[in-house]
Amino acid sequence: MAFSPSMKSKLMRFGGANLSRFIGLVERTSSHHFDPPDMQARFETEEPVICACWHGQFMMLACSRPRHLKFAAMVARHGDAELIGEAMRRLNVTLIRGAGAGDRRKDRGGAYALKASMTALKNGYNIVMTADVPPGPARKAGEGIITLARLSGRPIMPLAAATSRYHAFKTWSRLTLNLPFSKLAFAMGETIRVPRNATPEELEALRQKLEDELNDTTARAYKLAGTDATAATPPGARAADLPPLPLGLGLKVYRGATRVFQAAAPLVLGHRERQGKEAPERRAERYGRSDIARPEGQLVWFHAASVGETNAILPVIEGMKAKRPHLSFLLTTGTRTSARLARERLGETAIHQFVPLDTPTFAKRFIAHWRPDAAAFTESEIWPNLIVETSAAGIPLLLINARISKRSYHRWRKRPGLAAPLFNRFDLVLSQNQRFARWFNELGARSVTVAGNLKIDAPPLPVDMRAYEQLAQSVSGRRGYIAASTHPGEEELIADAHRRIAKRFEGFLTVIAPRHPERGPAIAEMLKAKGLRVAQRSLNELPEVSTDIYIADTIGEMGTLYALCPIAFIGGSLVDKGGQNPIEAIRHGAAVLSGPSGTNFRDVYDALLAKDAVKVVRTADELAHEICELLADDAQLEKLRAKGTQAVDDMAGALEQTIEHLLSVLPPSGSLQKELDRAS
């Protein structure tokens, strides 16, 4: 049932009034303890100050203040904050409405709040505000509070309150309801002063110092209250030196179910072998067994899903090998195509194995045999049993080039018993962007760093020169383009666009490479029903002079196809699928077109759009028009290709960061330690 604005306002006032009464009840029925003992007196020597606390941990802080001093609290403008605001008003705390936006673009009144806070400080008010900004990440101090301290010249005072009895809600910040008849503890941290002329580096150091002080102050408050802070701590904010969260019910159920599945593994693998998706002679690897002995010395294990992820990982392996020649590498993948790529590109640099099926027994057997010194999963490769067994063996565990779709994020969020203990086991997550970093932190990852997208630094997808020359000869003299990674609903639009383009350019050829090659026959039937002449690569057919559309329904040939076509439309974007990766096409010099849906690669598309390096189309007519414009003007085509290349080059840099982070988790080996000792 929807409430009218006036009814909502009344409910908020009612709720706020009762919350203030409840806070008073907790204060009256609890014994008070302060750390340091003269905490309240320190307010008077420093005031006015900026009181900092963590979001979700603020309920009892109003009770710690000296009553004769003036206090103002920064409260956001969204609906939930109305209740908090009403409670603060009834506790005689002045309100400043507005807050920072975090990594969101929506204005939440931050500029107004900053100006109002400056005025309040000048008028002798102490400002109370949370250091972390909704929607997170939790317990990561934002820049806003540092900016306020720099501009106002007033110190930041880290504060925390805790009770021996409490209930923590499963919100992003673990909003904590303190309960009456408790031991009520207040803690104050070291005062932080921010010079007005501080450099960016100094400001970042002070931001980190505030973060550390608040974590320490909060821990002291809970210790003084004599209670465990685990329930009130967001999983992603759990200290790195603490063991990961225990397995929740969801994870236990998954492990039990995969133990049952293990009995059916031979049947599943046999079926996949008959489909050509598995290598029968290497089935043992899927059970965690190997005939290859573990190399001596340090071994780093990488796991990549398929060709795209493998292509991004190869430069990481090569870069680490160049810096530490003594290292050995193990690469696991799940597809035959990626296995072939690893064999061709890595040679003797790394051992390739098929990743074991994700059961506790197979995972434990695999870890026991290879005993890696560090393990790095890529992108969104989350295999619970492999992660649990790797962590249990004490092996540093990283998720690199990490990304997660919005849909997957929400699925994980609905299963905290599965997600939090799982993501909590990663020692480090190297995220592609800030949004993914926040999501991983909310799911339970404790240490998350934005490192960028490895696929930007990856070399172009490999080209099979024999296949390329064969294709080039069969299409000699014809104009055309490739529609890559297409999804259902897009091929019909591409067919309509083809008819329009072919009217202007005789002999025009459209190449369709569906995201899921097994859809090739169905696409062919649909196109034939439209009166178009079709050839299929999966049938070993080559485009003839009369072929209108060539369906490249094979795996592992995208590099060859991109090299062949000067223009690429990237699929999954004319339908609501979030788009696909445009970088691989650009690295092969293709001019890129895309539909409006690109949320899966938002950062990449934003960078391309900022430099006019991609053409966005919404209909078959627009697709046909843009391709015709590019084909009719070689200078325009070359300009778009050059802009794409420059935009991608400007986004590079993730490779070196990833290599440095991976090397940092490896202890020096015996031989390397001797070299370091000699050097020192």
Cβ–Cβ under 8 Å, residues 455 and 307: no
Lookup: tokens for 443: 């799911």
Cβ–Cβ under 8 Å, residues 210 and 192: yes
Burial of 586 (0-12, 13-18, 19+ CB in 10 A): buried
Sign of CA dihedral 661, 666, 672, 674: positive
Residues 293-302 as b or e (16 or more Cβ within 10 Å = b): eeeeebbbbb
CA distance 160 to 130: 11
Burial of 478 (0-12, 13-18, 19+ CB in 10 A): middle
Lookup: tokens for 461: 């997808």
CB under 8 Å, gap of 24 or more: what pairs does 526-531 form? 526/491, 526/492, 526/495, 527/491, 527/495, 527/551, 530/495
Cβ–Cβ under 8 Å, residues 616 and 597: no
H helices present in 512-653, as ranges: 520-529, 558-564, 583-587, 602-610, 620-632, 634-650
Question: Whole-angstrom distance between the N-terminal and C-terminal Cα of the chain?
Answer: 72
User: Which helix or strand (DSSP H or E) is residue 104 part of?
Assistant: none
**Amino acid in the structure at residue 1:** M
Q: Would you tell me the crossing angle of helices 654-664 and 307-323 to the nearest 10 degrees?
A: 60
Cβ–Cβ under 8 Å, residues 214 and 61: no
* Torsion, CA 217, CA 219, CA 222, CA 225, rounded to 10: -60
Q: Which of 314, 348, 358, 354 is nearest to 335 (CA)?
A: 354
Neighbouring-strand partners of residue 161:
186
CA distance 351 to 67: 68
Catalytic residue, from 309, 389, 557, 584: name it. Answer: 309
Q: Is 318 a catalytic residue?
A: no
**Residues tagged active-site:** 309
